[in-house]
Amino acid sequence: ETVKPTNFIHQIIEQDLQEQRHDRVVTRFPPEPNGYLHIGHAKSICLNFGTAVKYAGECNLRFDDTNPEKESQEYIDSIIEDVRWLGFEWAGEVRYTSDYFQQLYDWAVHLIQQGLAYVDHLSAEEMRQYRGTLTEPGKNSPYRERSVEENLALFEQMKSGDLPEGSCSLRAKIDMAAANINLRDPVIYRIRHAHHHQTGNDWCIYPSYDFAHGQSDAIEGVTHSICTLEFEDHRPLYEWLIQNLPVPCVPKQYEFSRLELNYTVTSKRKLKQLVDEQHVSGWNDPRMPTISGLRRRGYTPAAIRQFCDMIGVTRSNGVVDVAMLEAAIREDLDANSPRAMCVLRPLKITLTNYVEGEEEWFELPAHPKDDSLGSRRVSFGRHILIEQEDFEEVAPKKWKRLATGEAVRLRGAYVIRCEEVIKNAEGEVVELLCTYDPATKGANPEGYKANGVIHWVNAERSLPCEVRLYDRLFSVADPEADKTRTFLDYLNPESLVTLTEARAEPGLAAVAAGDKFQFERMGYFCVDSDSRPERLVFNRTVTLRDSWAK
């Protein structure tokens, strides 16, 4: 693989290595298993795993599983699959924050013993009132000055399961007047009588994100704990906990900006809402910005990694144009996908001078620029199908397709001329009677000109298929801009158009889910998991060109 472009995180790491602060880089990717991974996570995955690869270090996959009610094994399995699919492998076993629950508990006890944590009985609402605001300091809880012994006994009681949820919590004792609100005695343990997907009913108290994260990093020997900018204000707390606990090593937190894409949402909570309310068919609906949705849509791991390289890693927030993501997959598929012909909305043609029952097979290259992809065979006969939009009764100016009385080349076959148009009672064109010119196989017509080249299939030999055309899931660039409405108000009603009459060239009979093609002139397509030999199903991954560009 090529050397990745550098970024500010890499510059920090290079300096750390040079000054021998570490002899090896250890990073981690820490998803919470409360949903499927999305394209934003891909940025974090490429950064964390890519950094480990670049500096011959290690990257752990750690499930940040401290909210059992929202998490599930289904999410864990999907995350593991998606990280691997993107092309990355973690060091050793998959890890779970829950593996460290005993150690984290012991460290909470240690804080109590040092007089640095206390059990509080304020309700969540009272705690909010006591916390103060950005401009006003908070107030100490009346329970703040309990003795160490009392706190130890109460924390033990929290753990024993005797106390109801919300009755008390363990808080770090830092400073209720700190300018940084995260330091105003943050909650580090709360009671949850919930079954946990990894630890079952072993625990009824769970550590907060802030208490669990840095300590888990320290346990794993993480050197550079890379997270997104919303955690910048948590860094003083991260450092306070590391300083005040007997941790085996000192990780440091660095932040970068989240990826945001226009015309979509990248928040698990909102994506889950789209799934739960059935606005999409599931987490892997090809319109979703999830890794599994992109995979089903026909994206490749290489294109997603390439996109992440292109957008880079910085500390400035900005919205990335989804056209960049589309450009990355277009480039990959242009270079690597075999060509085929598929007529999406067929119009019948009978070639009146071609003998009924005769058939010819033409050999065409699978790729115009890459011989290694070999060739394909297409069948020609008296009855063929072309795209409805490739015919106009009266040719507009500069028309490059078929029109009454005019000639056009069928890709890889003959030049045909439209002699007669057959219409139904409603006046719609239902069939064209054409003639073909036998002298134009691999040769230019003599004495006249063909308008252009169009794709086609043999009506009898072609394979019936369903084609799903996707557009952006939202019809506006920022579905969250208007705070008086919800993002659901901007769902694009045309984000999925299903064509049921499409016909593909016969060579596609044996395709498998995930196979990718350029359907000439129509875009890049991949075989959907719904596809069956008797009825193929193709997803359009992306159009040939950016049709949204103004």
Write out the catalytic residue numbers: 32, 258, 268
Residues 8-47 that bind Mg ion (CB under 5 A): 32
Query: Which of 267, 281, 306, 475 is the binder for ligand ATP (CB under 6 A)?
Result: 267
CA–CA gap between residue 147 and residue 143 (Å, rounded): 10
Going by the DSSP 8-state scheme, the letter that residue 492 receives in this structure is -
Q: What is the DSSP string of 438-457?
A: GGGTTS--SSS----EE-EE
Among 54, 110, 258, 279, binds ligand ATP (CB under 6 A): 258
Closest CA to 506 of 381, 328, 320, 334: 381
- Which residues between 211 and 230 bind ligand ATP (CB under 6 A)? 227-228
H-assigned helices in 312-449: 322-336
Give the N- to C-terminal CA distance of the chain in Å, as an integer. 35
Nearer to ligand ATP (CB atom), residue 87 or residue 445: 87
- Whole-number Å distance between alpha carbons of 258 and 272: 19
Q: Which is nearer to Mg ion, 65 or 528 (CB)?
A: 65
293 annotated ligand-binding residue = no
Residue whose CB is less far from ligand ATP, 173 or 268: 268
Stretch that binds ligand ATP, among 261-269, 301-309, 355-363, 499-507 (CB under 6 A): 261-269
Least separation in angstroms between CB 213 and Mg ion: 9
Query: Is residue 123 within 8 Å of residue 187, measured between CB atoms?
Result: no
Q: Which is nearer to ligand ATP, 78 or 518 (CB)?
A: 78
What mask of x and - would describe binding to ligand ATP in positions 36 to 75, judged by CB under 6 A? Answer: ----xx-xx-------------------x-----------
Q: For residue 49, give both structure tokens.
A: 């795993």
Half-sphere exposure of 224 (CA within 13 A, CB side): 32
Token pair of 124 as six digits: 């969540």
| Residue from 104, 259, 333, 366 binding ligand ATP (CB under 6 A) | 259
Do the annotations mark residue 335 as ligand-binding?
no
In the chain, the amino acid numbered 280 is V
Question: Is 33 annotated to bind ligand?
Answer: yes
Residue 350 marked ligand-binding: no
34 is in an annotated binding site: yes
Cβ closest to Mg ion, residue 32 vs residue 515: 32
Q: Is 266 in the site for ligand ATP (CB under 6 A)?
A: yes
Residue nearest to ligand ATP (CB): 40
**Residue 279: both structure tokens together:** 């606005």
Q: How far is the CB of 35 from ligand ATP (least distance, A)?
A: 6
What is the chain's Cα-based Rg? 31
List the structure tokens of 189. 């343990």
DSSP state of 9: H
C-alpha 505/C-alpha 503 separation (Å) is 7
Please say whether the beta carbons of 65 and 96 come within 8 A.
yes
Residues of this chain that interact with Mg ion (CB under 5 A) are: 32
Residues of this chain that interact with ligand ATP (CB under 6 A) are: 30-32, 40-41, 43-44, 64, 227-228, 258-259, 266-268
Which residues make up each annotated binding site?
32-34, 38-44, 64, 209, 228, 258-259
